[in-house]
Structure 1
Amino acid sequence: MTDLNELMGSPFVRVKLVAFVHFFFISNAMLGSWAHGSFEFYNFLFLIAMFWTMHSKDSIEAVQTALVINASSIFFDLVNIIVYFHGMNGWAIAFAIINLILRPVSVALLYREFNTRGGTLQTGSVFPTSQQRSYQDIDRPTQPTPTNSQPGPNVASIF
């Protein structure tokens, strides 16, 4: 049992496991005709974000993107299953429901990966704050003037 805990403690195994499990269930759920492409669209975005997370092993943004898409997919899955339940075959609807049940577990695993990579949830980065931020004028950058240097040619006189 400790081997399983060590295996799940590895960050790359968590991401690959989440990607593989959702790929398996999404591909089986797509055997039905879904919602004029909405089911395929957000699940395709989720799988792309998971591949990006696997590729960029140190990127916090990749995990955050996959986490947000996966968390919002819980709501989207519910809507698609409820609205299109009557027109689906049993195979596709069963895999869609299993995929929906597994989403909170994968959200927890992705959040753990997000924390492992050093990400923190800060509301100040998303919502405006009342803190005063420093402003840097990029039109007129300030350059320190050397104190003991000889004056050079006047470049401004050329123009």
Structure 2
Amino acid sequence: MDIQTAINTPFVRIRFIGFVHFTLLVNAMLSHWLPPAYMFYNILFLVSILWAIHSRESVDAIHTAAAINFSSFFFDFIIVIAFFPSVGGIWSTIFAVINLCVRPFSLLLLHKELVDRGGDFVLVSVASNNPPNNARTPRSYQDIDGSRQNIPNSQSAQSNISNLF
């Protein structure tokens, strides 16, 4: 099996994203120059990836992972610039920068996974009255007992109500 076939396989794709980011994050966290916020949002991202692996049909899991990944790109960029180590931690810095560079590609793979699951990244516009494809529309209540109750007039309905008390 080649890498292109593996990437195009739906359930391998999300595992690949999780494995790559996990490996990069472990190596990035080997030094003390990164703030605790870096670990916090990256753990949230890995948890959302695990949720997406567990819930194979969930569009919400992929939406959550993609949203965290998208915002993590900006957080990584700010943290690498603001906390760049002056002495030591070069190994950790290299992997933090590689993790930053890999995030757009993992976002594309998450988009492909989302499309395969039947969702999309389109936000609902305020002017549109049509719900998105993946929105759950409320269904009307179906009275399953209605077929058994044949009340021809309102007087028998009143007598049935009076019999309750």
Question: TM-score when scaled to structure 2?
Answer: 0.77
Q: 2:110 and 2:82 mapped to 1: Cα distance? A: 28
Counterparts in 2 of 1:40 and 1:34: CA distance versus 1, 3 Å: farther
Query: 2:112: which partner in 1?
Result: 112
In structure 1, give the amino acid aligned to 2:160: P
| 8 A Cα contact 2:111 2:121, kept in partner | no
| 8 A Cα contact 2:10 2:116, kept in partner | yes
The answer to which of 83-92 and 25-34 deviates more is 83-92
Shift of 1:130: 6.4
Structure 1 gap segments, 5+ residues each: none
Aligned residue for 1:123, secondary structure, equals coil
| 8 A Cα contact 1:63 1:110, kept in partner | yes
- For residues 11-68 of structure 1, give each alpha carbon's deviation from its aligned partner in whole angstroms, at most 9, with x where no partner exists: 1111000000000000111112245311001100000000001000110000111011
Shift of 1:132: 9.7
Query: 2:61: which partner in 1?
Result: 62
| 8 A Cα contact 1:34 1:40, kept in partner | no
Q: Identity rate of aligned residues, in percent?
A: 36
Query: 2:135: which partner in 1?
Result: none
**Matched residue pairs, number?**
149
In structure 1, give the amino acid aligned to 2:44: L
Structure 2 gap segments, 5+ residues each: 132-137
Query: 1:149: which partner in 2?
Result: 151
Q: 1:34 and 1:40 mapped to 2: Cα distance? A: 12
Aligned residue for 1:31, secondary structure, equals coil
Output the aligned Cα RMSD.
3.0
Shift of 1:4: 3.0
In structure 1, give the amino acid aligned to 2:29: M
* 2:17 counterpart of 1:15: no
Q: 2:34 and 2:2 mapped to 1: Cα distance? A: 42
| 8 A Cα contact 2:21 2:99, kept in partner | yes
- For residues 104-158 of structure 1, give each alpha carbon's deviation from its aligned partner in whole angstroms, at most 9, with x where no partner exists: 111111110011100023322xx5446499xx9xxxx997x77953536115972
In structure 2, give the amino acid aligned to 1:5: Q
Shift >3 Å, 4+ stretches: 127-133, 145-148
Question: TM-score when scaled to structure 1?
Answer: 0.80
